[in-house]
Each structure stands twice: as C-alpha cells, then as structure tokens.
Amino acid sequence: MKSLISRMQAVQSPIIPVVGELIKNSPGTISLGQGVVSYSPPQSSVDFLAKFLSEPTNNLYKAVEGIPQLIAALTAKLQAFNQIEINAENCIVVTAGSNMAYVNAILAITSPGDEIILNKPYYFNHEMAIAMAGCRAVLVDTDENYQLRPDAIAQAITPKTKAVVTISPNNPTGVVYPEATLRAVNQLCCDRNIYHISDEAYEYFTYNGVKHLSPGAFAGSSDYTISLYSLSKAYGFASWRIGYMVIPQHLLDPIKKVQDTILICPPVISQYAALGALQATEEYFTEHIGAIAQVRELVIKYLNRLQGLCTITPADGAFYFFLKVHTQIDAFELVKRLIQEHQIAVIPGTTFGMEDGCYLRVAYGALQQETVKTGMERLVQGLQTILK
C-alpha cells in the first residue's frame, strides 16, 4: 500500500527505543539512558492486589477519573506534601502515567494551530504531544544554568498561546526552579489568561536541602494551574502506569472526554497497587532516595574529571545531569560511539531540542553502588578518548 502522509511525520521518533536498540546490539553496555529507578514498589502495593482480587466487580470498567478510594488518598497526599487543597475549584484525575496526564491537558485546552511554550531543553514527549495535537511548540531558551527566564517567556506569548510548561525538578537537566521564579511564571499565566502546566514527576528527588514547591499551592492559582504527578519514579512504579493530575474544575468534562476515548478508565488493578503504594512508610523513601543521593555524589566525582571537556551545570533535583560537550561531533554520533566503542549509553541532547551544540543527558537513578563506578569510568574514559 502506498505510504500515507499524516501528522505523525512531523513527530520525532522517541529516543529511548532507538538507543535501546543500539544497547541490544552491544551486549554488556551499561545504560545511563532511561529515567527509571532500580528499586521495586513497596510491599504494601503487592498486599493491596489481594483487595483488588477480592472484589468481584473489579473486572468491570470503573470511573473515568479514577476509583474514589485512590482519589481520597491522593487528596490527602496533595494536602500534606504539596500544600494543594482539593476544593470546589479543582479536582483530581487519575491517569495511565503522567505522560497521559500531559496529553489529556494538551488536547483539552487547545485547537489545531495553537501554541504551547516549552523551555529548552524540553522533555521530548512534551514536544511530541504538541505536534500530535496539530499545535506548535514555541521554544524559549533558559539561562546558562538552565533556569527559567520569565521575561523571555513573556515575550514569547502570542494570542495563540494556551499554556506555559514548566518541569521542576527538571528532566533533562536536574535543576530545581526557585520559588520566586515559579511564582513569576505562574503570575504571568494568570495575567495573560493562559494555563500553567506544572510537571512534577520528580517531586521527591531533591538534594542539598532543596525543597520541592508546587505552583498549584499558590493562592488563587487553581483556576489556571494544571499539575502533573507520577508514581513511576518515587515508587518504582514505571510499568504499572499510574499518574494523576490536578486540574481546574472547568477542565474536568473535556479531560474526561479525552480519557474515555483513549483509555476508558485507568487500569483498576494498578489503581489498587497505587493505593497500596501510598501506604508506604517514610523509611521507604528515606532508604531508596537516600541511596540515589549517594550514587549522585559518586557521579559528581566522576563528572568533575571531565572539566575542560564538558560544562557540567549543578543540579539539585531528579536524577540527571545535562552535559555540554565541547566538541563539533554530532550528539547522536557521539552516543553511538560511546555505546559501540565503550559500552556506555547516554541520551543525545538533540532529542531535548538542543541543536546548537553537543549535549548529553546522564541518568543515574537506576544505578547501583556496584555499577556506578564501572559505568561512570566508562563514560569518562570514553569521552576522554573520543574527544582527545
């Protein structure tokens, strides 16, 4: 059959499977690529599966926006951790991961031809979803430390702008935005009558005493702030596919239309597992995120050996570092050589919109203490060898 042209031709190919294929063809490669953690969900998640199985009607479709008991548990979490109160002005929608929450939001607030502001480097799935919706991503440069520039964001707003997207802690850079900056962006969205989409998938991953802040907690922001969350990272829940969003009440009907069409309802068995995860003790987070913090310190020591070859921006959140490599080599070509010649995988910055130089995202969340030394040694030696 003759190839048909569709909107999908304008959408970039997801980089993780592309790099995964290169890894598969180079056995023994250590991956610093995909943003996942190495640990498993808490035992309470497994325990709650029995509750799912004991309910004879759980084979049927459930509420589009999520089961009531999970929404109640998320309401309590949002109040305690994010200082977001669920009231008559906002509501929770449970989704199949926070990527779906983002797609829900884009489809609900846009028409083809509208614009969404992304800050560079952006999270690639955010840009892809905008293209799929027939909209245009307007890209705004961050500063030399990948921090937001509210004045530049303001200048990028046009009559077609529907939202500004922020990610804090950030993927791919690992930076955390300070309160003053987030307040400035949130107020800008209020003043210009557009939405502030706040992606907070890495909310628990902060270091050096830095605290996470949710724009949805700002007074009076409920009517235009869309907050996205995920269980994939903090709870080791990646394949269970549970996220959730806090949205203005007036968006509930359009978002339910999107979700009912694509999914009908989030997988109920996963919702029960999520309900169990939310029962996890403080020790669960302390142990696992503490271990990642120790890995992070080792990663920093190795990265410091690349001074002169790379610019390494400080990052107090998520589990990424975003390197600017001082070379004319194409980023994807450099990634291929690191895998094929040195058995270490990272992600090229081009997939995050960084075309003006060679950038690499280094992900350390899945590394164990015993593999971080081997993996980082390979990365450092590989870059030193290739760039000499």
* Domain residue limits, the chain: 12-41+282-387, 43-277
Q: How confident is the model at residue 361 (pLDDT cuts 50, 70, 90)?
A: very high
Mean pLDDT in residue range 151-171? 98
Single pTM value for the model: 0.96
Round to whole Å and give the CA distance between 331 and 327: 9
Yes or no: say if 62 and 267 are a contact pair by the CB < 8 Å rule: no
Round to whole Å and give the CA distance between 304 and 286: 27
Q: How confident is the model at residue 13 (pLDDT cuts 50, 70, 90)?
A: confident
Q: What is the pLDDT of residue 14?
A: 83
Mean pLDDT in residue range 304-309? 95
Q: How confident is the model at residue 4 (pLDDT cuts 50, 70, 90)?
A: low
User: Is the model's pLDDT at 315 over the cut of 90?
Assistant: yes
Q: What is the pLDDT of residue 369?
A: 79
Helix (H, G, I), strand (E, B) or coil at 218: coil
Round to whole Å and give the CA distance between 111 and 173: 30
Write down the residue that tokens 């991961």 correspond to: 97
Q: What is the pLDDT of residue 273?
A: 96
* Class level of CATH domain 12-41+282-387: alpha beta
Q: How confident is the model at residue 42 (pLDDT cuts 50, 70, 90)?
A: very high
Per-residue burial over 159-168, b = 16 or more CB atoms within 10 Å of its CB, e = otherwise: eebbbbbbbb
Mean pLDDT lowest among 7-16, 282-291, 370-379: 7-16
Round to whole Å and give the CA distance between 30 and 165: 32
Share of the chain above pLDDT 70, in %: 99
Q: How many other CB atoms are found less than 10 A from the CB of residue 102?
A: 25
Q: What is the pLDDT of residue 16?
A: 84
Q: What is the per-residue pLDDT across 279-288, written as a single tens digit (0 to 9) for each? A: 998 899 889 9
Triad 363, 216, 162: Cα angle to 5°: 85
> Rounded to 5 degrees, what are φ and ψ at 9?
-70, -20
Q: What is the per-residue pLDDT across 178-230, written as a single tens digit (0 to 9) for each? A: 999 999 999 999 999 999 999 999 999 999 999 999 999 999 999 999 999 99
Mean pLDDT in residue range 228-255? 96
- Residue type for position 276: G
Q: What is the pLDDT of residue 1?
A: 56
**Which CATH architecture fits 43-277?**
3-Layer(aba) Sandwich (3.40)
Give the HSE-up count for residue 375: Cα atoms under 13 Å, Cβ half-sphere.
23
Domains 12-41+282-387 and 43-277 share a fold: no
Q: What is the pLDDT of residue 3?
A: 65
Average pLDDT of the chain? 95
Round to whole Å and give the CA distance between 247 and 91: 6
Share of the chain above pLDDT 90, in %: 90
User: Is the model's pLDDT at 301 over the cut of 80?
Assistant: yes
